[in-house]
Structure 1
Amino acid sequence: MTSGEEAGLAMSLVNDVTCPLCSSLFEDPVRLDCEHNYCRQCIIDYWKKGEMKSEGEVERKNNSGYTCPLCCEIFPQFTLKSNKLLATIVDRVRGLGIQYNKVPLERARRCSPSQGVLGRKAENERGRGLCSVHREPLKMYCEEERTAICVVCAVSKEHRTHRLAPIEEILMQCKETFQTAVRHFESQRDEIKKLHHKRGEEIKEIKKQAVSLQAHLIQETDHLLQCVQRERERLCSMLQRDMERLLALRQKALSHLSQETDTLQQEVASLRARLGNEVHDPAVLVKDIQDLTARLKAELVALDDDVTEWFDLGVYKGPIQYFVLKKLEEVIHPGLCSLTLDPTTANPFLSLSDDLTSTRYSHTPREGLPVGEARFEFSPCVLAKCGFSSGQHYWEVDVGDQSDWDLGVAGETAERDGWVVLTPENGYWTVGNKDVRRVGVYLDYEAGQLSFYNTEDMSPLFSYLGEKFTETLYPFFYPSADSNAQPLRLLNPRH
């Protein structure tokens, strides 16, 4: 071995027994749980004084534990273990009298290993494929921590219970996995293009549908606004006509009053002139004075035409919005359907009202009912008499005070024997078990739409869209199975 090699080996040995905090040979070395070693007093002073953030600036230690200056691992308790083997090695190195350059590390950084002197050193060693702690080649791989380690780390307390494998083996596995993923990605490229095209078309369709729906909303609301505008114009025109008529009556009365007043004033002036004339017939004069005096006393009664007519406040100061609402009900499409229940379809355990607009469950079945294909023999359900095979329709139902109900439509040929399964495949489009009291049902036969709403605020509950209706659909009702529950009622329009 050459002298240079011996010197290098000696310096390597010195470095292994040098404290990373004071850059001197270990004095009373202690080992932390992370397997890093320090002089006992160095690590105590380091933790006691705090870790340096920058020159002249001190950061207090983390209150949650104590940090290793090299790997930054945090320990919850202040524990130091004497490393007697390392102390023995240090004593032997001192006995050799090896000279070395002491480069004090005045402050440790409370930061990741990539910062400061220690961090740069570890980074350089890892860049050369060496372990930053043991300076051994990185030949193993820890799968739990997903990091490369050396063989010394592999047997350390930190990694000995982890899943380990040679790093070359892991690299081969990664390459194979990567190649498989690349091949899969390339095989899916056409599908990705199709999916990209599909999403692009969906975006176009959404924009197109939004424009169409906006036009529909404007058209429907404009129809109502026009109705409100017409009703407002009608009421304003009526008010204008009434005003002109009342003004004409008052003007006529005022004109008559003026004419009569002028006539009386002329007669008073004439009689005064006659009284000043000495030549007169006393008997005639007395009669004229008496007649005129009586007319003057009764002036207001005589001249008043008794015009007492005014505006009809029942029209102009009444519930105007309700007037308009009634007009809106005349133009709303579809209007509220008037439905009745079909007793020939009602299950025997359902009790129907005399007017066939409500039903409830009963523990006692009705007797003497004819058996037919139209009746629900097992499930407590009933249909409406009226069915729909085209157009738009809307009806409302008070479902009572329980939530175990179902509403919707049933196909004319839907199976009614046995326990009915309420699915579109079986000819039933329904919704139920919602915490609402009144439900609105909207059917657009041609569009294949059936929607349900909470009539309190018309918030949507559920919708079937794009269905292919091919037969007559009948409104379907399944009331609560609780015989004490309030009955299910059809909310028909008032006639």
Structure 2
Amino acid sequence: MAAAREILQEMQKEITCGICQSYFSQPVTMECGHSFCQACLSQSWRVEATAFSCPQCGQMAQVREFPTVNECLAQLADLGKQLSCQLLQSTEGQHQCATHKEVLKFFCEEDQTLLCVRCQQTPEHEAHQLSPIDQVAPSYKEKFQHIQSHLEKLLDEAEKLLAEENPGVDWESMIQGEYLTLHNFLLEEESRCLDRMSQERRASQDRLSRQMQSLQLLMLDLQEAGSQPDVELLQDTKQLLARSESVLSQRPGTISSELRSYPIPGMLEILHRFRVDIRLDPTSAGAWATVSEDLKSVKAAEGWQGHTNHPGGGHFVFADQSFGTSGNHWYWEVDVTQLPQWTLGIHTTGLMDRNEEDSSAVLFLLSCVKKDEDYYLQSYPESLNHRVKDPVPRIGVFVEYCPGTVIFYNVLQRSLIYMFYPILFTDPITPIFCPSPPLPGTEPGAMTLCPVDSHLCACCYSAP
């Protein structure tokens, strides 16, 4: 019996279609010697094609005419089918119950298991619906054929979706065009957005490819199950039904026809993603400044004159938190509406004691100085000295630890003031503030840290 099975297996290789992997149906043989079902070969060739090639080896046919049916091969395929059925039927009696060593004759609908006569008499199957194998197997074959037809439709749908790689709208170019209108800072955001689009597309294609592979494997298993004898078919019924239910519940999703959201916000909208809630450290103020109870604002003390050899006169109020031990981006805004002169920026810790005036600390500062009727924005340690017609009501500060960058923004104008770059940060970063001495004849004004949810626009601000 084993030898006959081996001979049949060798024979099956010669009478099996390379496209559908089933016994030949009206086989046709190409010039290269490879044979296929007539219907399979017809479906693999496009009507508008100017030349035909072998689906197996790729050799081009010399003539366009469709090959005729190979009658000898068709008879051999029919003979193989008959031998296969006879061999399978002769082995049905060899399937026995593992517990009682008796022939399996019944199928339990509830448990979807095969039973012998003694199994059906056990208490666990007493109330179950049992059917003879030869009666119940055809219904499952029909059910598998129905599932297979659904799988074929889903596979066609998945193939069409996977072929639609061109979404019809070149979103990448549109997004790139929008990013080009923004500041250089947005280049990183542009790259992140495009990378995310590419990753999502690859993920969708990979998901569909895996789903198609799952569909194809299940179809092959169902085809194989349909050609098995009743006993072997019913042995795998539970597993095949569970797999079929899982696969059929997952419909292919669109790859590219779906409209995805890739917002390109303005500069400050992006910066607001990195807003941090800063509070002042009152112990760093000394006698020259006063910090509010909510630790959100500071003003110069009465009579303080400061020094002119250093921005802010060497006096700074520090924030009560530092940055650099976690994260990479931080952004905060400072309201300087009440101040004609001020200084703010960042200080790297570990190089200067907060209460020392003479120090070699690393500072990156922006100052506003009033001269006559004009206001000047000055940077330290570099050489910005920019005149502005009106005072800047709110300053935005953005810090990127790696690569080291400190950027100051005019929040009302939504524009860049100055950028320190590159900076090799090695220590934590602490925001610092100085309201500067009041001008003669004026009252000290407050420098205020803005809440993280606050926004400033031209429609809600009027110059003093």
Range into which the TM-score falls when normalised by the shorter chain = 0.3 to 0.5
* TM-score in terms of structure 2 length: 0.32
Q: Larger Rg: 1 or 2?
A: 1
Higher relative contact order (CA 8 A, sep 6+): 2
* TM-score in terms of structure 1 length: 0.30
